Structure 1
């Protein structure tokens, strides 16, 4: 069994290996294995979100499903939050649930769920 330090020391080479994998988008969902593992969202060849899941295919689908909420689509939520703060200012002290019911934020969140993973 690997120690924590051994596992951490392998991370750079594992990221390089992961980044060599073919990029997929939401239209490729059938190609995504229904297996547990690590996934990464990339922008301009730079990893911007890393997640892990017991079922990568289902998890990927949750990230871009219209019915997903702030807990099941955190990547889209974070993108929407960043855009909202750039336009309206800090959301410090505002919970995820509170943000989700603000119409301007909800619109940004829906747009990110529908477009961020293309």
Structure 2
């Protein structure tokens, strides 16, 4: 393994442990002081569901769960809605597109409920300002915790 890449990989475990040891909060009870950038983990009970990364931590967490957030900002809730409704295939035409589904009578109301669900989930986060470490830490946490709603696919 290239020594520079190995140094990145070797530096991830302490941040991962810090993430897991954080006392969880909810989006509706975020503390006043929190890091600007880093990775975050959504969980229900002891089940870890989704890991994300951002340079605007507070805003990103709120966007995941704000009732007015659209499919591009409440991506985790959108994934949960796809799973709940069984509409899991992406469509690249107007009919069935993400924007179309958001307004669909059998999808839109469920999407709103899933955003509220995300708002009440446990969330943990850890500061990580370096973009390379942030990306690697997101993947490291997702793989280590087997989060079912991360797929790292290209769309």
Structure 1 residue ranges (4+ consecutive) displaced by more than 4 angstroms after TM superposition: none
Aligned partners of 1:5, 1:15: CA distance in 2, in Å? 16
Deviation at 1:91, TM superposition (A): 3.5
Q: Corresponding residue for 2:47?
A: 46
Residue deviations 1:95-118, cap 9 Å, x none?
322321211110110001112231
Q: TM-score, normalised by structure 1?
A: 0.80
Q: Does residue 65 of structure 1 match 2:87? A: no
Change (3 A) 1:45 1:9: farther
Partners of 1:29 and 1:61 within 8 A in 2: no
Aligned partners of 2:72, 2:45: CA distance in 1, in Å? 26
Aligned partners of 2:33, 2:41: CA distance in 1, in Å? 13
Q: Corresponding residue for 1:91?
A: 89
Which 10-residue stretch deviates more, 102-111 or 27-36? 27-36
Structure with more relative contact order (C-alpha pairs < 8 Å, separation 6 or more)? 2
Which 10-residue stretch deviates more, 64-73 or 46-55? 46-55
- Bigger helix share: 1
Question: Unmatched 5+ residue regions in structure 2?
Answer: 121-155
Deviation at 1:45, TM superposition (A): 2.4
Q: Corresponding residue for 1:117?
A: 119
Partners of 2:41 and 2:49 within 8 A in 1: yes
Q: TM-score, normalised by structure 2?
A: 0.63
Question: Unmatched 5+ residue regions in structure 1?
Answer: none
